[in-house]
Amino acid sequence: MSSSSNTYRITIVGAGIIGLTTACTILKEYAANENLQLTILSEKFSPETTGDISAGFWEPYGLDAVDKRILRWAGYTYDIFLSEFFSTKAALAGIIKLPSYSLQGYNGQNIKDDETTKKPEFLKLVRHSHSLDQHELAMFDHLKPKSGFVMVSVAVEVRKYLPQLLRFLSEDSRVKFIKKKIHSLIELKDKADVVINCTGLASRDLVGDQTLRPARGQVLRVHAPWIKSMYAFDTEDGFGYVIPQGDTVVLGGTFQLNDWNTKPVVSDTQKILRMCSKAFPALEQIRHGKVQVGLRPYRDNGVRLEHEKTSTDMNVVHCYGHSGAGVTLSWGCAKDVVDIVKTLLPPKSKRPDNLLEHEKLWRLIPNFEYVVLKAKI
């Protein structure tokens, strides 16, 4: 397929972490195509996306199955985030490399299925991990877990990350942003050569995918600067987690399927505090925090990433249904989406450059805040 007007018209619907990483990957692969017209169309942009609420922790979470495809996407994304942590992007984009402890069982009992006590397959993707021995488990004696592991992971503060992606994209004259809600992809017929659907939960209505369901997540952002690592643990009240970000710590959480409520629930907040205080008793003293609610795009059949030639002769590439793993799978899915797009709209050969791989995806555009900071040093 080729564009009839000699112009490559690509429209991405959705401006969350999936949509924007896909857009950045398109600019990388089509760097030599001056005739590219990339439109990002979305009802919501940061800070209004579901990702802005998330803790942004790298781990394939909320998925029924972690298969080879998920592992490939997660591994590619992990490498990108780790590279960015060791780059000039880390501070402004909110990327943190941190030890992450996962504990199974509470009060000496395993309250999950036996399968969950095995080391998950995604541990082979990270730079360092090991099962906790009895001496290490003793650090958490107040929880009395049955087993656990620690790994080196990454937390991405999405509310900082997305604005930096948007700033990079906005510097390219080939990119246009449209804030608008569409009710059917047919509205884009004859306006784009390829449409990329990254609308998350909205795909339930947009393309009629009834296998998509909300997985409601409520979190609490608090000031707890003494917590420097990520912890996930079982309690008698359920599963809790504590994830540090730049200036706050995210306490969670809930995973409530089929719940469309986007308003905070007091009982959920109390439960989150009760669970997290089991691990960190000092959190019992927390009296102030920001409660947020987001609806994860859970899909019964897992992530949908595929090309569709619609009955109306449109080329659509779908990428949605990431549940609680949107950040974890983002760059890997973006690569696969763009690989499909390249078969439909073959790009010119890439311009040679000496940029590192992760710098080809997106570059920080110097802003006034950064210039002032440099001047003060």
Residue numbers in the known binding site for FAD are: 199
Q: How far is CA 327 from the centre of its chain?
A: 1
Binding residues: 199, 241, 296, 324
Binding residues for D-dopa: 241, 296, 324
**Residue closest to 320 by CA, chosen among 69, 44, 16:** 16
Tokens of 63: 């998925």
Tokens of 134: 């009895």
